[in-house]
Amino acid sequence: MTASPVVLGIESSCDETGVGLVRDGRLLGDAVATSMDEHARFGGVVPEIAARAHVHAVAPAVRAALDAAGLRRADIGAVAVTTGPGLSSALQVGVAAAKGFAFALDVPLYGVHHLAGHVAADTLEHGPLPNPCVVLIVSGGHTSLLLVRDLALDRIVHLGDTLDDAAGECFDKVARVFGLPYPGGPAIDRVARDGDPRAVAFPRALSGPRDDPYAFSFSGLKSAAARWAERTRAGGDPLPVADGAASLQEAVADVLTRKAVAACVEHDVRTLVVVGGVAANSRVRSLAQERCAAAGITLRVPPLRLCTDNGAMIAAVGDLLIKAGVAPAPLEMSIDASAPLEYASLQPVAGPSPAALAAAQGA
């Protein structure tokens, strides 16, 4: 049996330039550079600033990951890169870099769906995913409850998605209204420690007996939090931010974990995996643990640093695709900024195919 290749993973879908090196499900070394501070004064990610920062950061990040792993460029046996979803200009930088490495090293290239990367992050800490498992993805742009079989090969089944805002987006936007710094999720988590989660009765959307049991909605919660802040300030009182943050966090954690555990029970699945940036939230983690234990479900959550965007998770998907025998992508592979999550492998090709071009030239 031939040894598995070292997979270089590159992630550039938003404001993190992530690079990771994975072989056989094991993380060998990684590096993450972020342009977060450059966006802070705008209150959100500015695509052109992010793209420019990726250009500066990607080659040094590859070098740093190789150094951390004690490897050389020639040790890289395959390249995996996020091709979507994300910011177009930011994705383009990672894809161009990945193509450059794959071409120069003469190794196969794989296009990866960013959210499949978030799912695979957990395998680097806890080993292969059981088949099947229920996965709750809670990130800055997505909130989905999934039934995952073989992550590398099978179509991912969406049990439910958010109808409007993502959970992370809700944290980020409410944090802004509360006057907390960007990014809002970690700030809410921090100040919530000193607050009372029962202080404000924020709504739990789509939780009634006639509602879709696995769909989410966070825009009503966002508005309710903004109205509460407005009302309290109008009354002349200082805003009890800690109580507001703790109550908001409780509402989000309650809905997420209740629906995720219900999905496991209904589908007779014994493992719940919670991934994405919001999986770093302390209350989401503790309530998920409590409710999974009560229902006899094993909970898996990646370590904090693998919850938010990183390159190791993309390398982890590449490693799984290679093991499953999935065909590499052609070098004319492009990005798909709004790709729906269907398969882990995402290899869109822009423009006419090489066959169509050859036919056109022959005509």
Ligand X SMILES: Nc1ncnc2c1ncn2[C@@H]1O[C@H](COP(=O)(O)OP(=O)(O)OP(=O)(O)O)[C@@H](O)[C@H]1O
Q: Contact residues for ligand X (CB under 6 A)?
A: 13-14, 86, 114, 139-142, 168, 171-172, 183-186, 188-189, 276-278, 280-281, 308-309
51 interacts with, out of Mg ion, ligand X, none, CB within 5 to 8 A per kind: none
Toward Mg ion, which CB reaches closer, 139 or 249? Answer: 139
Toward Mg ion, which CB reaches closer, 82 or 247? Answer: 82
Instruction: State whether residue 132 is helix, strand or coil.
Output: coil
Toward Mg ion, which CB reaches closer, 15 or 309? Answer: 309
316 interacts with, out of Mg ion, ligand X, none, CB within 5 to 8 A per kind: none
For Mg ion, the binding residues in 284-323 under the rule CB under 5 A are 309
User: CA angle, 239 as apex, 235 and 244 as ends, to 5°?
Assistant: 120
Toward Mg ion, which CB reaches closer, 95 or 264? Answer: 95
d(CA 189, CA 333): 39
Toward Mg ion, which CB reaches closer, 309 or 319? Answer: 309
Question: Quick one: tokens of 350?
Answer: 């822009």
Q: Which stretch binds Mg ion (CB under 5 A): 31-39, 45-53, 136-144, 350-358?
A: 136-144
Toward ligand X, which CB reaches closer, 20 or 108? Answer: 20
Packed helices 312-323 and 114-121: angle between N→C axes, nearest 10 degrees: 90
Least distance from ligand X to the Cβ atom of residue 76, Å: 25
Residue nearest to Mg ion (CB): 309
**Residue 249, Cβ density class (10 Å: 0-12 exposed, 13-18 middle, ≥19 buried):** buried
Q: Which of 139, 217, 271, 281 binds Mg ion (CB under 5 A)?
A: 139
Interstrand relation of 6-11 and 76-84 (parallel, antiparallel or unpaired): parallel
Residue 98 near residue 20, CB atoms below 8 Å: no
- Going by C-alpha positions, the residue among 18, 17, 103, 112 that lies closest to residue 320 is 112
172 interacts with, out of ligand X, Mg ion, none, CB within 5 to 8 A per kind: ligand X
Residue nearest to ligand X (CB): 277
Q: Which residues, 6+ apart, have CB-to-CB distance to 230 below 8 Å?
A: none
d(CA 261, CA 273): 10
- Which amino acid appears at position 194 of this protein? D
- List the strands of the sheet with 76-84, edge to edge: 26-34, 16-23, 6-11, 76-84, 109-113
Tell whether residue 144 is a contact of Mg ion (CB under 5 A): no
Least distance from ligand X to the Cβ atom of residue 199, Å: 18
Residue for token pair 């910011």: 87
94 interacts with, out of ligand X, Mg ion, none, CB within 5 to 8 A per kind: none
171 interacts with, out of Mg ion, ligand X, none, CB within 5 to 8 A per kind: ligand X
Tell whether residue 17 is a contact of Mg ion (CB under 5 A): no
Q: Which residues bind Mg ion (CB under 5 A)?
A: 139, 309
